[in-house]
Amino acid sequence: MFALLVAAVMANLSVLAAPPDDYATAYEKAEKGGKPLMVVISAPWCPACVSLKNTTLREMESGGQLQDVSVVVIDRDRDSALAERLMRGQTIPQVIVFSKQNAGRWQRAQLTGFQTPGTIRQLLRNALSPLARS
């Protein structure tokens, strides 16, 4: 029964799930496109992470709310070295947004735990507003 549940959860992982080396591609797109970089650190065994990917991010993606940001999902277990470099604290999921400010320096903002589309929209709005003024 447990194996069936695990298989069902794995089959329903969001299309946002990315291979470990996709971080470099997402960073490059953010850098070249002048977009913020949104990094989601999660794990397949974490219910809040699965829910964040399958509800919040999927809803935002299908509604076009992530088109102005480069998004990558990092599996904390599969790419632990990168996850450890990016994480602040051990709680997952973590939604981290890096955005360039007027001086061209990357600024970091973070949400920890399950998030609704509204809280992520606000985080992105804050990241995008300085870009609009530059």
Which range among 39-48, 53-62, 77-86, 94-103 shows the weakest confidence by mean pLDDT? 94-103
Q: Where are the domains of the chain?
A: 2-133
Topology of domain 2-133, CATH: Glutaredoxin (3.40.30)
pLDDT score for 2: 38
Q: How many CB atoms lie within 10 A of CB 80?
A: 14
pLDDT given at position 131: 53
The mean-pLDDT minimum among 5-14, 23-32, 50-59 falls in 5-14
Distance, CA of 85 to CA of 87 (rounded, Å): 6
Q: pLDDT tens digits, residue range 27-49?
A: 888 888 888 999 999 999 999 99
DSSP state of 2: H
Confidence of residue 134 (pLDDT cuts 50, 70, 90): very low
What's the pLDDT tens digit per position in 92-107? 999 999 998 777 788 8
Residue 77, Cα to own-chain centre: how many angstroms? 15
Q: Long-range contacts made by residues 121-128, C-beta under 8 angstroms, separation at least 24? A: 121/60, 121/65, 123/95, 123/97, 124/36, 124/38, 124/65, 124/68, 124/69, 124/97, 127/36, 127/69, 127/97, 127/98, 127/99, 128/36, 128/68, 128/69, 128/99
